[in-house]
Amino acid sequence: MKKILAAMALLFAPFIQAAESGGDYSDTVDSAISIDIPSITRGEIKEEFGGVYRIKITEPAGLRIEANGNIAMTGILVDGRKDEVYVGDGSYILDDAIYVSEPYGNGFQIYQNLDAGTYYLSVQGRDDESTTGEYMLSVLIDDHGNTPYSATPIDVPSTTRVKLEKNDLHDVFRIEITEPATLRIETTGDTYILGSLYIRNSSDETYCDDRICIGPGSSGYYYGLDIGDGKNFLIDQTLNMGTYYLSVGRIDDSIVSEYTLSVQILDPCTADSYECFQLFNQCEPISLHIGVEENDLGITEDRARTIVESRLRSARLYDADSVPYFGVGIDIDEGEYSHINVVRFNFYKLVSDGYTNTRYLSTTWERGTFGLSGVNYSSIGDAIMQSISEMTDEFINEYLRVNEPACD
């Protein structure tokens, strides 16, 4: 938090305002100090009270208000038209309205989607009337909250377009799971994105640093896997009922960037459990890797690729950019009196390690053929190509059968 405020102070230096003792100090709504959006304001708490501020919003927006200092503070945001009260962390009494919530360090944070209008913010010490000290107050437009307390709720399933402004390093989303389900959470975009999903217990003290939220005592904690482009992440996870928090952060906050967040429910696998482990992949397309040892039988990588890729395309299972892939390796040992050939077929899918919550590509389905022939057996090359064709058909048939619920 301190790093964020320091960075914002440099960026918004021309907008920094002062609210100190004297004419710039207000303790009533009528004398509230007007502050801009965005802005950083220096304020002072004396005898527990820290001032009242007027904030005007010209169009509907998500407002993020953060305060930080060397004393414990709380804040309350009042709608000037309807007397509706939005409360920051801590407890505060105003016009007989009481709200108590968990503290956010010494300061407080308020995130709220607001309509256009005038709002009043009151800042107060959290302890007693002897509380005094200075603080920094920042007001920003932010599409989404960035702590578990201000997390933006998102539906399941849903697709959300997110814009990260300068100095906004991460967003936090709240996901409600009403019945056990397997979710796929992934991002797409040109921003370097990190992701983590966790469920908080009442005793957890989840901490959000400059880049991402972490919860050392949290249960069900899953890091997003790099999907291969170095910029986005993917989480596939079966979850029980509960409230989960997804923290999405980035490395570079010096530019404005956008990403798309997708949260989808995956179809269950109804085949044998081991077959599901081997081949179930939500019926998604796969890429192709071909390896051919140099030989004098006329077998080339291009010939093998043509056979296998055409069959995958016919089954609508080919995507050159997919991470999981079908691999074909052809090894030929050309001896003085005979040829030995081995053809290997492997399916590589993303597999989760339950001990470390990490995911890697691993072989889960494997087949092979072995052949031995004399050097004058002129049709051995055609026989190998025929075996490639037949084993590819076998893989496609098994893959579609196991993935049938997701292929409809």
Mean pLDDT by 10 residues, the chain (408 residues): 37 40 60 89 80 88 82 82 51 40 66 82 74 85 75 91 76 88 86 78 43 41 60 80 84 78 88 90 94 88 96 96 94 72 92 71 92 65 90 96 88
Instruction: Write the CB contacts of 150 (distance below 8 Å, at least 6 apart in sequence).
Output: 64, 109, 110, 111, 172
Instruction: Give pLDDT, residue 160.
Output: 92
User: Which of 211, 187, 142 minimizes the C-alpha distance to 4?
Assistant: 211
Neighbours of 138 (CB within 10 A): 25
- The pLDDT of residue 326 is 97
H-run or E-run covering 390: helix 380-402
Residue 261 contacts residue 233 (beta carbons within 8 Å):
no
Which residue, 85, 72, 61, 66, is CA-closest to 149?
66
For 286, which DSSP code?
B
DSSP at 272 = -
Residue 13 is given by DSSP the state G
Residues recorded for the chain = 408
Place of tokens 């993303």: 350
Please name the amino acid found at residue 309.
E
Question: Is the omega angle on the peptide bond into residue 38 within 30 degrees of 0, that is, cis?
Answer: yes
For residue 213, count CB atoms less than 10 angstroms from its CB and return exposed for 0-12, middle for 13-18, buried for 19 or more. buried
Residue ranges and CATH numbers for the domains of the chain are 2-141 (2.60.120.380), 152-265 (2.60.120.380), 275-407 (3.30.160)
Is the whole-model pTM more than 0.75? no
| Cis ω before 157 (30° cut-off from 0) | yes
**What does the block give as tokens for 144?**
């989404």
Q: What pLDDT does residue 103 have?
A: 53
Reduce the DSSP state of residue 388 to 3 states and report it: helix
CB atoms < 10 A from the CB of 360, how many? 11
Dist CA 331 CA 368 (whole Å): 11
Q: Give the per-residue pLDDT at 312.
A: 97
Question: How far apart are alpha carbons 41 and 9 in whole angstroms?
Answer: 9
The alpha carbon of 359 is separated from its chain's Cα centroid by a whole number of angstroms, namely 15
Instruction: In whole angstroms, give the CA distance from residue 94 to residue 76.
Output: 8
Task: Give the per-residue pLDDT at 374.
Answer: 59
**Residue whose token pair is 């997804």:** 246
pLDDT value, residue 375: 53
Q: Report the DSSP pairing between strands 287-292 and 325-334.
A: parallel
